Amino acid sequence: MSVLALPLTILRIQYKIARIPLQLIETNVVVKMDAESPARLAYEHTLGSLDRAVGNLLGDRSLADRGETLVDSTENRAEAARLDAEARAKKTAADADLKTARETAEQDRRAADAAAQEAARDARQEAEQRKREAAQEAEREAAAKKKRADEQAAAATKAAEDRKKTQQAQVDKQEKLAAAPSEAELAEAAQRSEEADAKKDEAERIEKLFIAEKNKD
């Protein structure tokens, strides 16, 4: 063994002795932590970096490799934890976006349903309004037709009554004319009456003369 090899060997032994408490902490405390917990990763990365540095310094290839392996492991786990956290964050954001999208879609659906119900209600009201207006228009038309019919019937009745009155007047006139004697008939009747009166006077005169003659005898 060379003169330089002895101090290095002593240092390796001393480092191993000094590392025992660290190993106990790792065995009893650190290994019980989650493999990706920040405290464990920080501890193991520090311990690995220390093993790698001491191993390289003391020429202990095994210690240096072990330290390198531990550093790589912690870095890989840290990267995995970062990626996992990032993935969880993205998933959380995606879930939040999905929830927001679902809530927005639900709100849109409710708004659409409300709009459809309002449109249907407006359509029903408009249809009812048109129905009422049509009924009112039909009533107005029926009333107008009835009025025209009543006016026509009244006019026809009046015309019939006027014709009846005219015809009755003509009949009455004809009856009066038929019942009244003509002028010739009146003149003839007057002449006959005068002749009858003359004959009556003549008869009375003759009767008086006869009586007078009879009284003389």
d(CA 127, CA 129): 5
Two tokens, residue 17: 């002795």
> Which phi-psi region, left, alpha or beta, contains residue 43 (left: φ > 0; alpha: ψ -120 to 50)?
alpha
Q: Is residue 151 part of a domain?
A: no
Q: Is residue 28 part of a domain?
A: yes
Residue type, 68: E
Burial track 112-140 (b if 16+ CB lie within 10 A, e otherwise): eeeeeeeeeeeeeeeeeeeeeeeeeeeee
Q: Is residue 142 part of a domain?
A: no
Placement of tokens 């390289």 in the chain: 56
Placement of tokens 């009893």 in the chain: 28
* Global pTM value: 0.44
pLDDT tens, per residue, the chain with 217 residues: 444 455 767 777 777 787 788 777 777 887 788 778 888 888 788 888 988 988 888 888 888 898 899 899 898 888 888 888 888 888 888 888 878 888 887 888 888 778 778 877 887 888 788 888 877 887 888 788 888 877 887 777 777 777 777 777 776 776 666 655 566 777 787 788 888 888 888 888 888 887 777 777 6
Q: Is residue 153 part of a domain?
A: no
- Among 44, 98, 94, which Cα is nearest to 72's? 44
Contact 26, 16 (CB under 8 A): no
Q: Is residue 10 part of a domain?
A: yes
Q: Is residue 138 part of a domain?
A: no
Question: For helices 38-58 and 5-28, what crossing angle results, to 10°?
Answer: 170
DSSP 8-class letter at 31: G
- Its domain, for residue 52, covers 5-100
d(CA 137, CA 211): 106
Q: Is residue 62 part of a domain?
A: yes
Q: How many residues does the chain have?
A: 217
Query: Into how many domains does the chain fold?
Result: 1
Tell whether the torsion through CA atoms of 103, 107, 108 and 113 is positive or negative.
positive
Q: Is residue 191 part of a domain?
A: no
Could you report how far apart the first and last alpha carbons of the chain are, in Å? 242
